[in-house]
């Protein structure tokens, strides 16, 4: 279970403070591209945080979390075209659809365990991918460019990249605090217990399924908010948000940062995306290097990646 | 009316009848032991009664209520409980949290998402009382996996705390019949899950 | 209409057979080694690319195909010995991550070697014709050859698994790995063999479809996820389940795409039916999977859990 030790609280404060002053640094440097990357990092950090909640605390290896990114992104595109541009409305719609999708697919996936769970979440995400590919009204495979970003109180505030960045940061901090609270609550104890020993939890009177499904739905809703942010950042929406590679990258982020350590998910998203950016500078064929690093780290860390980066599970 | 009333209970693995038309009644306050050689089906019976394994036919009534078809956790909430021969704990939790989780199962909803559970005095006090009762209160803050007591079957005892007026519990002293394909499969899966948290 | 149905039926069977070749190796690896292999799809892709290269080198598709088989067997061996065998005792999460890394490496590596543009293999002249079905309807010979080759492979697998010593070990390994090791079977060697063999089957599938599909770096991924669906439907570890699941998925996918809109037209307006059909058809196999799982969580032929 997460204990909010002083060290952890300090680490969180320092990390988020660093994010908070970043725009000032980029402004001083006169580099406007950095803030774009940083906004993407924040959005992916939200998604990684959501995934860590079920992967790290619930023991559910979802390989289909990109589906929720797509749901969030298309909520912006579809509502935007219908003339509804409010950010709050976009997020509510994204959360509602994500909740329904997570409830249905989660209820089926959670009837199974282990390898089955991994493959089924992957398959359901692929189903969502094909759904949007065949939506020709929204560009099908090619996706669709947004006319404008979401508005706040009717004002186009988010057109400013810095404003969008701080909105994403505020959402990330808010969701981080929410996730920490959940892991420390009664609910979090049952969720963690069900990961540790599901039979034991039944023997003391809990039905693990209900708690796991609830956590799965919460996680999906959180990840859909990341999709809303990503769509706004790129002003562009396409099925590639739901590509299974994207789901894989989310898992990589969580593991890089340390499983079951919500702050680690934020750090992991930062590490993974910066690594990608850096490798892409070196070569056009950067996935080879990224994949190589991934394979080597998994093979040559003593307990595997999950043990290597595990932080608070002594 | 008996506290526990079992009628015509059956369970077969393929052609092997493990539980064959079993009738059993236990009165309030009675203590029973089930004995038999290896593979006689004692563990299967316990698993059937507790709801861990399904039954092919029969009825299990506890305190007048039909338990057949109810999942394990519902039977536990009705007052039936079991312990395990091979110690079954939440290894990453502290000793206190292990017991407090059991108390939590009986007190109030666990669909509470915001208040920190570690600060719930009522849960902790009851759990401490149970730990003190079995003499391991000084280990409360230790991780259960580390606690030497984890090696002993006694460990299971306080997690059924507090006892209900109408409660009935049992432990199965012998290993499950080996060699059955499905059992062997599920066990190897359980073993691999024990190795890894990510199974 | 009936001849169109027959045509699509054959297409569905052909697609199902292809999925079976890929899923057969994958389901054995899943079932016996309890191992998640995301890199199986890229082996199928490698098979197709190798078929392209060997065919242009030798000038003959038949020779190209024959060379592809040992080559993909070798690919499987190398992967098993260098990476996979270190992962068997690891958590599923590690297996997923390492094989995901391999997918990234190989998918990009293929583009370095062969370029990103789609390639193709010329259809062998001998098999390029078509045979009459009903009336004026004709069906390409090569697709029939794919079906026949797949059925022969299935029969071969059935005989090997059901009636040979190695097949016996394999079945024993699928039901209780620890017990087989305790009986003195070198389980490590068994794993290597299964793995390399599975890779060869996937490579075979890739080489077989090279003349009818375009060979491109994305070809492995869609098939991989459909193969997962096949395995989940059929039950992990069951080759028979993989066969049934593959045919089911192949038929539902193909028939759904061609007849879904037509059937919907009976209940709604043509324009709306066309749109709904296009959206629903690609989702059908996943819905099928969901329904089967809801009824039988361990698949059609899987052991009950």
How far from chain centre, in Å, is Cα A203?
A: 33
Q: Which residues of C touch A111 (CB under 8 A)?
A: 293-294, 297
Contact across the interface for C175 and B181, Cβ inside 8 Å? yes
Q: b/e for C105-120, b at 16 or more Cβ within 10 A?
A: bbbbbbbeebeeeebe
Give the pairing type, strands B80-83 and B16-26: unpaired
Give Cα A253 to chain centroid, integer Å: 9
In contact, B113 and A177? CB cutoff 8 Å: no
* Residue A239 pLDDT greater than 70, yes or no: yes
- Per the domain annotation, does A265 fall within a domain? no
Say if residue B30's pLDDT is above 90: no
Q: In chain B, what percentage of residues exceed pLDDT 70?
A: 74
Is A71 inside a domain boundary?
Answer: yes
The residue range of the domain holding A29 is: 23-244
For tokens 């959360």, the residue is A95
Q: Is the pLDDT of residue B190 over 50?
A: no
Identity of the residue in A123, A259, A305 whose CB atom sits nearest the CB atom of C228: A123
- Does the beta-carbon distance from B88 to A200 stay under 8 Å? yes
Q: What DSSP line would sit under A101-144, residue for residue?
A: HHHHHHHHHTTS-HHHHHHHHHHHHHHHHHHHHT-GGGTGGG-E
- Residue ranges of chain B assigned to CATH 3.40.50.300: 4-79+165-195
Name the stretches of chain C with pLDDT < 50.
Answer: 304-305
Q: What is the pLDDT of residue A61?
A: 93
Which pLDDT does position C178 carry in this prediction?
Answer: 80
Tokens 């697609």 belong to residue: C15
Tell me the CA distances in angstroms from A188 to A3, A266, B118, one per residue in order.
Answer: 12, 20, 11
pLDDT over 70 at A312, yes or no: no
pLDDT digits (tens, 9 = 90+) for A42-76: 999 999 999 999 999 999 999 999 999 999 999 99
CATH architecture of B4-79+165-195: 3-Layer(aba) Sandwich (3.40)
pLDDT of B135-169, one tens digit each?
888 888 888 877 755 444 444 444 444 444 455 45
Token pair of A49 as six digits: 């945080």
For residue A5, the model assigns a pLDDT of: 67
Residue A228 has pLDDT above 80, yes or no: yes
Does A205 touch chain B if contact means CB atoms closer than 8 Å? Answer: yes
Domain assignment present for A314: no
What is the domain count for chain A? 1
Give the up-direction half-sphere exposure of residue A98: CA atoms within 13 A in the CB hemisphere: 36
> What gap in Å lies between CA C179 and CA C189, rounded to an integer?
16
Q: In A, which residues are within 8 Å of C289 by CB distance? A: 120, 123
Q: How far apart are the first and last CA of chain C?
A: 44
| Residue A267 is assigned to a structural domain of this protein | no
Do residues A293 and C104 lie in contact, with contact meaning Cβ atoms separated by under 8 Å?
no
Can you tell me the mean pLDDT for A184-202? 93
Rounded to the nearest 5 degrees, what angle is found at the Cα of C137, between the Cα atoms of C134 and C142?
105
Q: What is the DSSP letter of B20?
A: E
Q: Of C104, C107, C96, C94, which Cα lies nearest the Cα of C38?
A: C96
- In 3D, which of C85, C19, C79, C97 has the Cα closest to residue C43? C79
Which neighbouring-strand residues pair with B170?
A: B82
Would you call C98 and A295 a contact, using CB atoms and an 8 Å cutoff? yes
Burial class (CB within 10 angstroms; exposed 0-12, middle 13-18, buried 19+) of C205: buried
pLDDT: which is higher, A253 or C186: A253
ipTM: 0.90
Six-digit token string for C145:
């050859």
Q: Is B199 on the interface with C (CB under 8 A)?
A: yes
Largest interatomic CA distance in chain B = 53
Residues 6+ apart with CB under 8 A from B101: A189, A190, A193, A201, A204, B90, B93, B159
- Cβ–Cβ < 8 Å for A79, A89: yes
Quick one: pLDDT at residue B1? 73
Question: For residue A254, what pLDDT is reported?
Answer: 92
User: pLDDT category, B172, cuts 50, 70, 90?
Assistant: very low
User: Residues B80-132: pLDDT tens digits?
Assistant: 888 887 778 888 899 999 999 999 998 888 898 988 998 899 999 999 999 99
| Burial class, C94, CB count within 10 angstroms (exposed 0-12 / middle 13-18 / buried 19+) | buried
Is the separation of the CB atoms in C301 and C235 below 8 Å?
A: yes
Closest-CA residue to C103 (of A275, A288, A116): A288
pLDDT at B178 over 60: no
Per the DSSP assignment, residues forming a β-bridge with B5 are: B25, B61
Q: Is residue A301 part of a domain?
A: no
What residue in B sits closest to A211 (Cα-Cα)?
A: B111
Whether the Cβ atoms of residue B96 and residue B131 lie closer than 8 Å to each other: yes
Q: Does B12 touch chain C (CB under 8 A)?
A: no
- What are the chain C neighbours of B199 within 8 Å (beta carbons)? 91-92
Q: Which residues share a beta bridge with B12?
A: B17
Residue A9 in any domain: the answer is no
Please determine, for residue B184, whether its predicted confidence score (pLDDT) is greater than 70. Answer: no
Could you tell me how many CB contacts below 8 A there are between chain A and chain B? 115
**pLDDT exceeds cutoff 80 at B187:** no
Using an 8 Å CB-CB cutoff, list chain A residues near C108.
285-288, 291
Query: Does residue B191 have a pLDDT over 70?
Result: no
CA–CA min distance B187, chain A (Å): 13
A254/chain B closest Cα distance in angstroms: 13
What DSSP letter does each residue of B81-117 carry, written as one string?
EEE-SS----TTSBHHHHHHHHHHHHSS-S---SSBG
Q: Using one digit for the tens of pLDDT, what is the confidence trace for A271-284?
A: 999 999 999 999 99
Three-class DSSP category at B58: strand
Cβ within 8 Å, pair C293-A112: yes
Mean per-residue pLDDT, A257-261: 86
Helix (H, G, I), strand (E, B) or coil at B175: coil
């Amino acid at each position: 279970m997460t204990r909010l030790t002083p060290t952890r609280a300090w680490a969180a404060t320092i990390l988020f403070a660093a994010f908070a002053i970043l725009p000032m640094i980029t402004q001083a440097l006169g580099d406007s591209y950095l803030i774009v990357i940083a906004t993407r990092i924040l959005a992916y950090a939200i998604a990684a945080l959501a995934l860590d909640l079920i992967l790290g605390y619930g023991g559910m290896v979802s390989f289909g979390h990109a589906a929720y990114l797509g749901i969030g992104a298309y909520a912006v595109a579809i509502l935007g075209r219908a003339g509804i541009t409010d950010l709050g409305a976009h997020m509510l719609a994204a959360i509602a659809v994500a909740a329904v999708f997570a409830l249905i697919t989660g209820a089926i996936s959670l009837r199974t365990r282990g390898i089955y769970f991994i493959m089924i979440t992957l398959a359901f995400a692929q189903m969502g991918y094909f759904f949007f590919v065949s939506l020709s009204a929204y560009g099908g495979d090619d996706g669709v460019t947004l006319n404008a970003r979401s508005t706040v109180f009717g004002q186009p505030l988010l057109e400013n990249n810095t404003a969008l960045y701080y909105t994403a940061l505020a959402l990330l901090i808010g969701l981080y605090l929410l996730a920490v609270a959940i892991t420390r609550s009664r609910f979090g104890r049952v969720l963690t217990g069900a990961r540790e020993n599901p039979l034991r939890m039944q023997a003391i009177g809990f039905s693990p399924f209900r708690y796991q499904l609830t956590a799965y739905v919460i996680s999906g809703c959180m990840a859909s908010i990341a999709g809303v942010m990503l769509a706004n950042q790129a002003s562009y929406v396409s099925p590639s948000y739901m590509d299974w590679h994207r789901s894989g990258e989310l898992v990589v982020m969580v593991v890089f940062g340390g499983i079951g350590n919500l702050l680690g998910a934020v750090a992991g998203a930062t590490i993974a995306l910066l690594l990608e950016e850096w490798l892409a500078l070196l070569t056009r064929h950067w996935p080879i290097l990224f994949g190589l690093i991934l394979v080597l780290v998994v093979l040559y860390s003593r307990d595997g990646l999950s043990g290597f980066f595990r932080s608070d599970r002594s | 009316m008996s506290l526990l009333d079992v009628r015509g209970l059956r369970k077969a693995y393929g052609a092997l009848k493990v539980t064959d038309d079993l009738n059993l009644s236990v009165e309030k306050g009675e203590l029973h032991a089930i004995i038999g050689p290896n593979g006689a089906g004692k563990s299967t019976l316990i698993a059937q009664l507790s709801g861990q394994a399904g039954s092919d036919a029969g009825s299990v009534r506890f305190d007048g209520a039909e338990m057949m078809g109810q999942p394990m956790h519902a039977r536990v909430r009705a007052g039936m409980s079991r312990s395990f021969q091979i110690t079954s704990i939440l290894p990453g939790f502290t000793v206190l949290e292990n017991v407090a989780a059991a108390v939590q199962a009986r007190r109030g909803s666990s669909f509470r998402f915001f208040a920190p559970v570690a600060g719930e005095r009522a849960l902790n006090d009851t759990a401490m009382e149970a730990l003190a009762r079995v003499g391991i209160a000084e280990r409360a803050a230790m991780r259960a996996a580390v606690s030497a007591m984890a090696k002993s079957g006694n460990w299971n005892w306080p997690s059924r705390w507090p006892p209900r007026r109408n409660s009935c519990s049992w432990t199965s002293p012998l290993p499950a019949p080996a060699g059955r394909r499905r059992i062997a499969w599920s066990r190897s899966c359980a073993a691999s899950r024990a190795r890894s948290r990510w199974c | 209409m009936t001849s169109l149905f027959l045509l699509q039926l054959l297409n569905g069977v052909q697609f199902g057979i292809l999925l079976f070749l890929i899923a057969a190796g994958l389901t054995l690896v899943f079932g016996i080694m309890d191992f998640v292999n995301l890199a199986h799809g890229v082996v199928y892709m490698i098979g197709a690319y190798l078929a392209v290269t060997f065919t242009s080198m030798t000038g003959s598709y038949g020779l190209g195909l024959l060379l592809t088989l040992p080559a993909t067997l070798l690919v499987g061996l190398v992967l098993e010995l260098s990476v996979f065998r270190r992962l068997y005792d690891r958590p599923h999460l590690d297996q997923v991550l390492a094989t995901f890394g391999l997918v990234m490496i190989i998918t990009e590596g293929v583009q370095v070697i062969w370029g990103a543009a789609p390639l193709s293999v010329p259809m062998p002249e001998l098999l390029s014709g078509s045979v009459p079905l009903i009336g004026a309807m004709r069906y390409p010979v090569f697709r029939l050859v794919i079906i026949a080759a797949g059925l022969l492979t299935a029969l071969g697998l059935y005989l090997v698994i059901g009636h040979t010593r190695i097949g016996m070990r394999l079945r024993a390994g699928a039901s209780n790995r620890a017990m087989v090791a305790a009986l003195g079977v070198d389980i490590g060697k068994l794993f290597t063999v299964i793995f390399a063999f599975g890779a060869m089957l996937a490579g075979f599938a890739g080489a077989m479809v090279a003349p009818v599909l375009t060979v491109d770096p994305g070809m492995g991924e869609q098939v991989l996820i459909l193969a997962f669906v096949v395995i989940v439907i059929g039950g992990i570890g069951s080759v028979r389940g993989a066969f049934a699941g593959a045919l089911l998925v192949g038929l539902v996918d193909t028939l759904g795409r061609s007849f879904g809109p037509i059937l919907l037209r009976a209940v709604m307006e043509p324009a709306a039916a066309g749109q709904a059909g296009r959206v629903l058809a690609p989702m059908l196999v996943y819905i099928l999977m969901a329904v089967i799982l809801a009824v039988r969580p361990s698949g059609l032929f899987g052991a009950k859990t």
